[in-house]
Amino acid sequence: MSKSYRVAILGATGAVGTELLELLENRDFPIADLKLLASERSVGKTLKFKGENILIEPVSDRSFENIDIVLASAGGGTSKTWAGIAVAKGAVVIDNSSAFRMNPEVPLIVPEVNPQAAAHHKGIIANPNCTTILMALAVWPLHKIKPVKRIVAATYQSASGAGAKAMEEVKTQTSAILQGQLPVAQVLPYPLAFNLFPHNSPMTDLGYCEEEMKMVNETRKIFGSQEIRITATCVRVPVLRAHSEAINLEFETPFNPDEAREILSHAPGVKLVEDWQANHFPMPMEASGQDEVLVGRIRQDISHPCGLELWLCGDQIRKGAALNAVQIAELLVEKNLLKLATAYA
């Protein structure tokens, strides 16, 4: 990375935006100029980057002039409003929202899985849903050896998936309950402290919520296979940060757990965590703040000869969002793919 680049973060003050800022600094991404963009209520505040206080600016048509890369994490509506404008001004947009993920002209990328898709971008690259990213890292290395036929996923999703305000709300609710008071829910639809409930994203006609369908449709797109049968149940749990997932995989032929364990122990972005004697396997507390997705409890499915079970935990804000976006930016720079961008239609 001999060159340096002009970068803008759209949604700089959110949980993912601040993580993006930290990762760009810690990974020493080559930045010539950095622009922080956020809503009007944050304008005038500052965030620190490499010892310098960077002023937060409002978003406008002029925000993306002379910008090479936009890291967007401000919601689907905001992305739909500004992504096309940014691309028209010559920037490549790496978008963390769901706005463009299923657009056939927009690559949906997990760098450890399908980096080749970046070569086909037209100015916008979509960052997958957090639960999809975490699952893809664990399943893809096995899928390359023996194509998976069916995936059954159950997720245990932390408050961080609903943003910084949801995390604070869980803390407040916890304090209220411990003091004998009734918890108040404002960010999430129900109290999450000492509670759990199925994911509150809008329900589809299939009886699956949108979060569950994201895992189905996005995984198929990333893997380049519409034949994989996938079902998911997504649950919000009283954990502050890092999601967990129980994954059941079905293959054409048996997949030896020891072979799977060996494969995953060398897989990029994955850390094997297993201590069967101590009954110690991945936990969200240990995954929080970590780049790797922790995978363990790999075992034979006793109900199916070709079934394999595994358990994973991963930081939703980090690899499930900000880190994956920064890795895409690093991929574009490394492969000299920024100049492939054309006006997005």
For residue 101, say whether it is annotated as part of any ligand binding site. yes
For residue 236, say whether it is annotated as part of any ligand binding site. yes
Our CA dihedral for 65, 70, 75, 77, rounded to 10 degrees, sits at 40
Contact 312, 282 (CB under 8 A): yes
For residue 11, say whether it is annotated as part of any ligand binding site. no
For residue 157, say whether it is annotated as part of any ligand binding site. yes
234 is catalytic: no
- Please say whether the dihedral angle defined by the alpha carbons of residues 227, 118, 134 and 140, taken in this order, is positive or negative: positive
For residue 15, say whether it is annotated as part of any ligand binding site. yes
Q: CB count, 10 Å around CB of 47?
A: 20
For residue 210, say whether it is annotated as part of any ligand binding site. yes
For residue 160, say whether it is annotated as part of any ligand binding site. yes
For residue 316, say whether it is annotated as part of any ligand binding site. yes
For residue 269, say whether it is annotated as part of any ligand binding site. no
Contact 148, 222 (CB under 8 A): no
- Please say whether the dihedral angle defined by the alpha carbons of residues 93, 122, 328 and 107, taken in this order, is positive or negative: positive
For residue 27, say whether it is annotated as part of any ligand binding site. no
**222: closest CA among 125, 317, 99?**
125
- Please say whether the dihedral angle defined by the alpha carbons of residues 24, 51, 7 and 243, taken in this order, is positive or negative: positive
Q: Which of 121, 199, 243, 313 is catalytic?
A: 243
For residue 161, say whether it is annotated as part of any ligand binding site. yes
Beta strand 69-72 pairing with 92-95: parallel
306 is catalytic: no
Q: Which of 121, 130, 199, 313 is catalytic?
A: 130
Query: Binding site for phosphate: what residues are annotated?
Result: 101
Query: Binding site for NADP(+): what residues are annotated?
Result: 13-16, 41-42, 160-161, 316
Query: Binding site for substrate: what residues are annotated?
Result: 157, 210, 236
Catalogue the active-site residues: 130, 243
Query: Binding site: what residues are annotated?
Result: 13-16, 41-42, 101, 157, 160-161, 210, 236, 316
